[in-house]
Amino acid sequence: MADNTYITEEGMQRLREELEQLRNVERPQIARMLAEAREKGDLTENAEYSAAKEAQAMLELKISKLEDLIARSRIIDNSKIDTSTVRILNKVKIKNRVNNSIMEYQIVPESEASLKQGKIAINSPIAQGLIGKKVGEVVDIKVPSGTIPFEILSISI
């Protein structure tokens, strides 16, 4: 079994809802598809049956992986998050020292990352460069386009 994964309460709720959808909606649909394909006769040359069996195998694998992820996940308690240094779940306002643009990101577990929502994964280059740093520090972060100096303007929850 792999290491624990840290997740927010919101992220855990999404995982549970997805698992419920797979178990209670998609699994019965595939069972019906299999039953219909069986009724059509010879299973050795039945493409519908083969496709349904493959879909069933893929679904069961997905369910298994989701169950494992939920079992390994530990919910992060927001009340115990420190803002003296950059950590997971902190919102960090940074200034690009090259073009003076200001950005704000929340550092989240990989499974919850969404650039549209301003949430970057803990294992992303920017997050990795910011972790453990304090307000006022300037950090050089290596990104695909080169190394960029960022100043940490604020850390919040």
Total count of domains within the chain: 2
Nearest to 155 by CA among 100, 89, 97: 89
Q: What is the pLDDT of residue 43?
A: 66
Say if residue 108 is exposed, middle or buried (CB neighbours under 10 Å; 0-12, 13-18, 19+).
buried
DSSP the chain: ----EEE-HHHHHHHHHHHHHIIIIIHHHHHHHHHHHHHTS-STT-HHHHHHHHHHHHHHHHHHHHHHHHHHEEE--GGG---SS--TT-EEEEEETTT--EEEEEEE-GGG-BGGGTEEETTSHHHHHHTT--TT-EEEEEETTEEEEEEEEEEE-
Domain end, chosen from 50, 75, 100, is at 75
Q: What is the pLDDT of residue 25?
A: 95
CATH number of residue 41's parent domain: 1.10.287.180
How many CA atoms lie within 13 Å of 151's alpha carbon, on the beta-carbon side?
10
Q: What is the pLDDT of residue 2?
A: 55
Whether residue 112 is found in the same domain as residue 54: no
Q: What is the pLDDT of residue 13?
A: 92
Domain end, chosen from 75, 101, 136, is at 75
Whether residue 93 is found in the same domain as residue 149: yes
Whether residue 120 is found in the same domain as residue 66: no
Whether residue 47 is found in the same domain as residue 90: no
Quote the distance between the C-alpha of residue 60 and its chain's center: 20
Contact 20, 102 (CB under 8 A): no
Q: How far apart are CA 22 and CA 51, in angstroms?
A: 18
Q: What is the pLDDT of residue 1?
A: 43
Domain span at residue 62? 5-75
| Residue in this structure with the two tokens 């306002």, named with its chain if needed | 93
pLDDT in tens, the chain (157 residues): 457 777 888 888 999 999 999 999 999 999 998 888 888 776 667 788 888 889 999 999 999 999 998 998 888 776 777 778 898 888 999 999 999 999 999 998 887 888 899 999 988 999 999 999 999 999 999 888 889 999 999 998 8
Whether residue 107 is found in the same domain as residue 151: yes
